[in-house]
């Protein structure tokens, strides 16, 4: 299984989650919300060959953590993965849009200067603006839209731009989410959970809950579960090889 967007450091017992991921052989991209959390989160994955740690600065924290952008730039050489970064257009986040944009563009500029990274992107109510920013920083890396919730037109634009997508049980629980996932290129889709933020039946999602996303994709794609698993593992291999990670 593959969880390309999970906040390992934010579980009540992250070491236990890491141990189970190792036991089950789950590939995990452990994203962070602030640069100052990166080193501690990366330490959680010590000895876990299938867990990678992303360097992030979440748009919802842009105003209070904008001062950490220089730290982001300093730490970037330590990982080929960036996340979670992006923009959030929800009403409660709009008042600090300028901070969000400064942080996101700063992160993209750093990635561009570093030769590109795999980037797990937040785009709630802001898919167009995220795509606009990506166009301003060609060479920033491979964008992976986490929990894409934009319009069909925005999805078409993202596909045309070569973007990837990670989909999870929470996203696939809605008709809109399933419709978007069905329209995504199958060779650019991976699974995620967004745990522990995302919930399944009122409880925090865990990396092994990616099995639920695999089941939903099997229905959407008209494939057997084993076929979907092979497909996803091949996609992860292509993403890794293309970015030398």
What's the whole-model pTM score? 0.96
In whole angstroms, what is the distance from residue 226 CA to residue 194 CA? 23
CB 150 within 8 A of CB 127: yes
User: pLDDT tens for residues 111-159?
Assistant: 999 999 999 999 999 999 999 999 999 999 999 999 999 999 999 999 9
User: pLDDT tens for residues 92-115?
Assistant: 999 999 999 999 999 999 999 999
- Count Cβ neighbours within 10 Å for each residue of 101-133 and write b for 16 or more, e otherwise: bebbbbbbebbbebebbbbbbbbbebbbbbbeb
Q: How far is CA 164 from CA 12, 16, 158, 160, in A?
A: 30, 30, 8, 10
In whole angstroms, what is the distance from residue 183 CA to residue 226 CA? 21
Contact partners, residue 124, CB within 8 Å, separation at least 6: 88, 89, 90, 147, 149
24 CB-side CA count, 13 A: 18
User: pLDDT tens for residues 198-220?
Assistant: 999 999 999 999 999 999 999 99
Domain at 2-243: CATH code? 3.20.20.140
- 245 confidence band (pLDDT: 50, 70, 90): low
In whole angstroms, what is the distance from residue 80 CA to residue 85 CA? 14
Domain boundaries, the chain: 2-243
């Amino acid at each position: 299984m593959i969880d390309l967007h999970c906040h390992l450091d934010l579980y009540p017992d992250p070491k236990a989650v890491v141990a189970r991921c190792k036991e089950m052989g789950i590939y995990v991209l452990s994203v962070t919300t602030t640069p100052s959390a990166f080193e501690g989160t990366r330490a959680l994955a010590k000895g876990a060959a299938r867990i990678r740690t992303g360097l992030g600065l979440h748009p919802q924290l842009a105003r209070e953590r904008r001062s950490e952008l220089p730290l982001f730039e300093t730490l970037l050489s330590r990982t080929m993965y960036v996340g979670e970064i992006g923009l959030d257009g929800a009403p409660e986040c709009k008042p600090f849009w300028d901070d969000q944009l400064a942080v996101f563009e700063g992160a993209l500029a750093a990635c561009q200067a570093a030769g590109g990274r795999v980037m797990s992107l937040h785009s709630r109510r802001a898919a167009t603006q995220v795509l606009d920013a990506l166009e301003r920083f060609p060479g920033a890396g491979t964008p992976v839209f986490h929990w894409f919730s934009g319009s069909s037109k925005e999805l078409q634009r993202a596909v045309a731009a070569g973007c990837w997508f990670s989909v999870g049980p929470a996203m696939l629980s809605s008709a809109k989410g399933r419709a978007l996932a069905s329209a995504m290129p199958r060779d650019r889709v991976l699974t995620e959970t967004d745990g522990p933020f995302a919930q399944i039946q009122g409880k925090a999602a865990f990396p092994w809950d990616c099995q639920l996303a695999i089941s939903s994709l099997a229905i959407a794609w008209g494939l057997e579960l084993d076929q979907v698993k092979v497909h996803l593992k091949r996609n992860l291999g292509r993403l890794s090889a293309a970015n030398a990670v």
